[in-house]
Structure formats: structure tokens, C-alpha cells
Amino acid sequence: MTDYHADHAWVGGAVAHDVAISVGDDGRILSLVPDTSPATGAIRLEGFTLPGFVNAHSHAFHRALRGRRQRTGDFWGWRETMYEVAERLGPASYEELATAVFAEMVCAGFTAVGEFHYVHHERGGAAYRDPNEMGWALVRAAERAGIRMVLLDTCYLLGGFSTPVTGVQVRYADRDVTEWADRVRALAAGLHGHPSVSCGLAAHSVRAVTADDLRAIAALRDTLQLPLHVHVSEQPAENAACLDATGRTPTALLAETGMLGPATSVVHATHPAADDIDLLGEQAVTVVACPTTEQDLGDGLGPFAELATAGATLAIGTDSHAVVDPFAEMRGIEMHDRLRRHARGVHTPAALLDAATTGGARSLGLDGGALRSGAPADLVTLRLDSIRVAGFDPDDLASAAVFAATAADVSDVVVGGRRIVAAGMHQSVPDLPDRLGGTIRAMMAER
């Protein structure tokens, strides 16, 4: 058993003080006792302790583009440079890069990640000897970095409506939906013995699979009872192409093929039609908002508030990793809606914290996201002595977290009861900035 003592903690949607948190040997919270003095030997968590944040949408390798390919070009131009990085990845380089990227996430306060994984195949498109070799590189990376991971193995079969994959896209594509499903089943079976990693499903987008494939993917979700993710309406051009090819919006096509529902997360939903918003709400999907990526790529301002009012659950993701900062994503949901609606106070700080915690856990089929007895002991502690939060209102720590803090203010991170970050330093991946920078420079120089 390990004892922690939080100066302040977010428990049941309110701030509690002097909270003793006991963690069992199974990594779960045994008890939470507020208004108590520290137990002998308890590890003190100075500041404001929150449930670990959940990053519901990541493509780890996109991190290599930060600060290198952000100056110009639209989404589709950015995608070409992202493809150049995908072409360079091998299992060893992907493991090194992803280890550092996942470690960066933990340092920022994320204790779980949904990795939307589609670079499965070798250069040229052949399957690796173990078809999940690239997936296993990500599993090792997550375990080394100490983050929980749901590996969302992605079905990506077409380059566009009725268009075969070309160029580097052949690395993403299985021969057909059955081959993809067989690979996913093998991965899921192989993950026994990896308690911090589990398997989920993804369809890349309505562009990348046919309607019949969408039906097969939805059926596999129901058979295996796994979470299912799909990119939806990030760009107006996707809506136009889908309407042209099928006579339906992407959301309507997903509804018709059984893809929507409470176990499904739609990523972005930046440009849904009015009927789409109602459909996504009625189907109780999770919408994964990725505001910093949507800013970086010039995607637009998604109707987050309307989606939540319609019945969707919000979660956050860092997607392209132009920024890795849960506070920026939470704040981004509110700021996008303020800019769009010309109004403040659209979401409460508690609702934004829910998106980053319980919303993400729901999206990934995890039972964490809250500080309560029996939940996994995933904790993130925010310093309250930094210049950014100086002057905070002690009666409104949620606002300090949502409106003032950044990832640089995270001091301690505990995952499954284990202290992964202490005093802002990752405990098992040393020299993180040098390591991440060196890995990216080596990979981008390689030809």
C-alpha cells in the first residue's frame, strides 16, 4: 500500500482539502479521506490534485512535425508532409519516438492515451512478419513511458471514395476489412499480460473505408465490446466528397451503417450539419475535441456546446501534438465556443475538467477519470506556486486549472499508484527534451 497526501483535490466535482489517498497494491484507490493530517510516510502532493487527464486522440508520430512544418499550407498540404514522416518510420525508430512523445504526455498530466494507429505495414505495403509489429512498438513505448494506452487499431483501406491507396498510404492499408479484423483479434489476444494497455477499434474516416466495411467494423465493435473511434467532418472538403459519393453527410453515413452509439467516439466533428448534431446527440456518442490541432491546421471552430446540449459527451485529444497540454485543450473548447458565439461562460470549469477526465475515460472504455475508492490511482498534481497561477482564488481552484495553468505547472503524476513524474521530471525516461529532440532530428535527417 502507498499513501499520498494531497493539499487540495478534485473529488466528486468539488475541491476537498487535506486529502489522504491510500492506494492498494493493485494500483487502485483504497480510500480518500479529506480534512485529515498526513499519515506517517505519506508522499505529499503539494498543490491541486486532479484525476489523471485522458488524451483520447493521438497520432504519436505527428509530433515530429512540431516547429518544422507549421508555417504554411492548408490541411491537405500538411497531410503530405505528415506522410513523409510516416514513410520514415520503422519499428525501432517508432518505439523511440513514441516513448519520448508518451513521456512528454505524462509530464503534461495525461495518464492515458488513445493511440489512433494506422502505420501498420512495411514500406511498400507488405505486412510485417508479425502483422502487429508496429503496434507492439507502440505498446513497448507506452509501457516505458508509464502511460496507459488504448491502441485504436485503424482500418484504412482506401485513399478516398472509390480511390485506391497510393504512395505511403499503402503502409496504412490491410488487404480488406477481414484481414484488419484478424490483426486486431491477434493484438487483443496478445495484450493479456500487459495490464496498462488494451485494444480498441478505429475506422480512419468515411473516406478510407466503404459503407459495407463500416457495417463490418460496427459489428466487430458489438462482438468484441471495444471502443470505436472515427475521424468525422474535420474539413468541409470531406463533407462535400461524401455527399458527392454517397448522397449523405459523413455523420448520416455513419448512422446508417450502425457506426454510431455510446461506445463510439467521433473525432473533431468540426463541420457537422444541423441534423448531424442531433444525430450525434441522440446516439450518445463521445465527441473528441482537439482544439489546438484544429487551430494549427486552420480546421475551423466546431459546435462543441451544441453537441453537448444535443446529448454528446465531450472529450479532449492532442491529435497532431502541435501542442501537448491538457489545459490548453480544455480551455480551447471554451475559447472556440466563445469566439463562435460571441459569448463567455459557455462551459463551466467543472464541465471542462469532466471532458479531460471522465469524458476521455468513457471514450476509451476505461474505468478511471475520477478520484473515488476503487478507481485506478491516476493522479495529476498542479503546482499552485507558479507565476501563471499566482493570485488564484482559493475557493475556485477549478478556474485556476482551466483558465490559467499550463502543462508546465504539472509537478507530480501518478499512474496506477506509481509515481511516474516527480517535481516535473519523468522518473524513468531521463533527459526527455534532449532525447525527444535527438530522436526527431535523427529521424528527419534519415533518408
Candidates 72-80, 206-214, 314-322, 362-370: pick the segment binding Zn ion (CB under 5 A).
314-322
**Closest CB 268 distance from Zn ion, rounded Å:** 7
Cβ neighbours for 441, distance < 8 A, ≥ 6 positions apart: none
**Residue 88 host element (H or E):** helix 75-88
Taking each continuous run of H as one helix and of E as one strand, the counts in the chain are: 15, 18
What does the angle CA 60 – CA 411 – CA 331 come to, to the nearest 5 degrees? 60
Which is nearer to Zn ion, 19 or 108 (by Cβ)?
108
Residue 299 within binding range of Zn ion, rule CB under 5 A: no
Q: Could you tell me which stretch among 28-36, 249-257, 318-326, 421-429 binds Zn ion (CB under 5 A)?
A: 318-326
Asked about 74 being catalytic, the answer comes back as no
Q: How far apart are CA 43 and CA 45, in angstroms?
A: 6
Binding mask 247-286 for Zn ion (x = CB under 5 A): ----------------------------------------
What would the DSSP string read from start to end of 115-144? EEE---S-TTSPPPSSTTHHHHHHHHHHHH
Other beta carbons less than 10 A from residue 182's beta carbon:
12
- Burial of residue 288 (CB within 10 Å: 0-12, 13-18, 19+) is buried
Query: Which residue, 209 or 405, has its beta carbon nearer to Zn ion?
Result: 209
Q: Is 319 in the site for Zn ion (CB under 5 A)?
A: yes
d(CA 58, CA 151): 10
Rounded to whole angstroms, what are the CA distances from 125 to 162, 296, 416?
A: 19, 30, 38
Stretch that binds Zn ion, among 185-193, 316-324, 328-336, 435-443 (CB under 5 A): 316-324
Cell, residue 395: 475557493
Please say which residue, 115 or 319, places its beta carbon nearer to Zn ion. Answer: 319
Choose, from 59, 120, 268, 426, the residue flagged as catalytic: 268
The backbone torsions φ and ψ at residue 76, rounded to the nearest 5 degrees and listed phi first, read -70, -35
User: 145 near 115, Cβ under 8 Å?
Assistant: no
* Shortest separation between residue 290's beta carbon and Zn ion, angstroms: 7
Q: How far is 83 from 91, CA to CA, in rounded Å?
A: 16
Q: Is the dihedral of CA 149, 150, 155, 156 positive or negative?
A: negative
Q: Which is nearer to Zn ion, 306 or 319 (CB)?
A: 319
DSSP helix/strand/coil, 99: helix
Structure letter (DSSP) for residue 421 = E
Residue nearer to Zn ion on the CB measure, 213 or 319: 319
| Phi, psi for 27 (deg, rounded to 5) | 80, 10
Q: Which amino acid is at 255?
A: A
Residue nearest to Zn ion according to CB distances in the complex: 319
Site size toward Zn ion (CB under 5 A) is: 1
Q: Which is nearer to Zn ion, 319 or 329 (CB)?
A: 319
CB of residue 233 vs Zn ion: minimum separation in angstroms?
13
Distance in Å, CB of 289 to Zn ion, minimum: 12
Out of 153, 213, 276, 319, which one is annotated catalytic?
A: 319
Closest to 326 (Cα-Cα) out of 13, 114, 102, 110: 110
Residues found in the chain: 447
* Contact status, residue 113 vs residue 148, Cβ threshold 8 Å: yes
Measured from the CB of residue 122, what is the shortest distance to Zn ion in angstroms? 22
CB nearer to Zn ion: give 238 or 412: 238
Nearest-approach distance from CB 187 to Zn ion, in angstroms: 20
Minimum Å distance from CB 208 to Zn ion? 12
DSSP 400: I
Mark the segment that binds Zn ion (CB under 5 A) among 315-323, 328-336, 365-373, 436-444. Answer: 315-323
x/- contact string, 8-37, with Zn ion (CB under 5 A)? ------------------------------
Paired residues of 266 in beta bridges = 230, 287
**Candidate segments 151-159, 163-171, 202-210, 311-319, binder of Zn ion by CB under 5 A:** 311-319
Q: Does residue 294 touch Zn ion according to CB under 5 A? A: no
State the nearest-atom distance from the C-beta of 116 to Zn ion, in Å.
Answer: 6
Range in contact with Zn ion (rule: CB under 5 A) among 37-45, 319-327, 345-353, 406-414: 319-327
194 is catalytic: no
Give the nearer residue to Zn ion in terms of CB position, either 205 or 411. Answer: 205
Would you name the residues annotated as active-site residues? 268, 319
Residues that bind Zn ion (CB under 5 A): 319
